Amino acid sequence: MSDTRGERLNVPRTFLLGFGFLGVSVIWSLYNLYVPVFLKDTFHLNSTVIGIIMAIDNVFAIVLLPFLGALSDRTRTRLGRRRPYILLGSILAAAFFVLIPVSMAKEILALMMATVILMNLSMALFRSPVIALMPDITPSRYRSQANGIINLMGGLGSLLVYFGGKPLYDRSVSLPFYVGGLVMLAACALVVVFIREPEPEAAAEKKAAPLLETWKELGANLKDVFGGERSLLLILVSILFWFIGFNAIETFFISFAKYHLGIMESTGGLIFGGFSLTFLATAIVAGIIGSRLGRRRTIRIGLMVLLAVLVPSMFVRGFVPLVVLFVVGGFGWALVNVNSLPMVVDMTVAEKIGGYTGLYYLFSQAANIIAPPAAGALIDLFGYASLMVFSCAMFAVSAVVVSFVRRGEAAGGK
């Protein structure tokens, strides 16, 4: 990797790139808030089946994300390596996303499933490339801070949903989806139009690759995971466990609020909004802390904060106490999430950043496959209180695993 000690973090450009993350967060926040409720209220499915449905789309994504990350590494167009995927994927994803409430209104489960899967496949098309742009344009030692900025923008997207989505949803269940699709298109358009990708380094210069060559590159990246130095495997396994814990809550919290606490789903979104508000407010700070204390240590602190919040949440039913707990939890999640991707991409060289970004999403998407059906089955067996127990167990395992990671700190840092 080239020496970047004389370079600086371009803050305005990083904020501009963050609009891509904002658009993605708007879509996923709306999807996780309301689709499980649609499936339960409209199609009368139990939590286990809902969990399976919420995970099916990720089976496709788990294959596509690392492949598309590696493919974007080898792509050469007038728009650059990453932006063609962002342009095409965001247009398709927005189109299918706005069709979700339309499919729900038809009350045909097969149509609903087809729409959801096509939307998720379209999102997979550009998720790895848009995130890979961050390390593309950011020197190693500033990647935690840069990831803090784009996560702040992502938190802003979630915050817009949790607080702005309530009046839209109360007016029409379709309206948040229409507005969300337009917001994502506008946000991604800003990235495509105004972000200029750097020219690939000479060592990374490649012609556009046939699919076979891209699959070979993906295989080489996976060989790094399972046959190389174990820190890469350990950080990815830790990512798997903490995303299982987080995704279980993200998928079922609104159902938890509605069916366990007895409050409206749009009001339950306000509780999770407190989580996103703190995440938004502390994302940049979390990146700075990671660069000062070290990324591994910061992630472990964040996991401990999450455990300290979720354990008492098992015994709390009131709206205000839950808001307070989730506000604190948002800071813990910022410490974890902001510093994880930089650890992964700083275990490789510049020409493989897209592929390693894909590996990050391979394991996080695997969590999205495991978490919904597992948490749903526990809810069916033991009730909604089991949701917090399950997530606590996942965060605890992740904290143990990450303590053995020995690589992934910033170049020239801790």
CA distance 106 to 127: 29
Token reading at 169: 């949803």
Q: What residue type is assigned to position 107 of the chain?
A: E
Question: Across 70-213, where does the E strand assignment appear?
Answer: none
Using the predicted structure, report yes or no on whether residue 414 has a pLDDT greater than 60. no
Percent of the chain with pLDDT over 70: 87
Which residue range is the domain that position 74 belongs to? Answer: 11-197+206-402
The residue that leads in pLDDT, 58 or 125, is 125
The predicted model gives 330-342 an average pLDDT of 91
Q: What is the CATH number of the domain that holds 98?
A: 1.20.1250.20
Q: How confident is the model at residue 265 (pLDDT cuts 50, 70, 90)?
A: low
412 belongs to a structural domain: no
Total domains in the fold of the chain: 1
- Please choose, from the candidates 19, 288, 22, 16, the residue with its C-alpha nearest in 3D space to the C-alpha of residue 145: 288
pLDDT of 297 reads: 94
Q: Phi and psi for 126 in degrees, rounded to 5?
A: -125, 0
Query: Each residue of 60-83: pLDDT tens digit?
Result: 667 776 677 767 777 788 888 888
pTM: 0.69
pLDDT of 406 reads: 86
Under DSSP, the state recorded for 409 is P
Query: Each residue of 118-138: pLDDT tens digit?
Result: 998 888 888 778 877 888 888
The predicted model gives 257-265 an average pLDDT of 76
407 belongs to a structural domain: no
381 belongs to a structural domain: yes
Query: Each residue of 202-237: pLDDT tens digit?
Result: 444 444 444 555 556 666 667 777 777 788 889 999
Choose the weakest-confidence range: 40-49, 105-114, 160-169, 365-374. Answer: 160-169
The answer to whether the beta carbons of residues 124 and 60 sit under 8 Å apart is: yes
The predicted model gives 285-298 an average pLDDT of 91
Percent of the chain with pLDDT over 90: 27
1 belongs to a structural domain: no
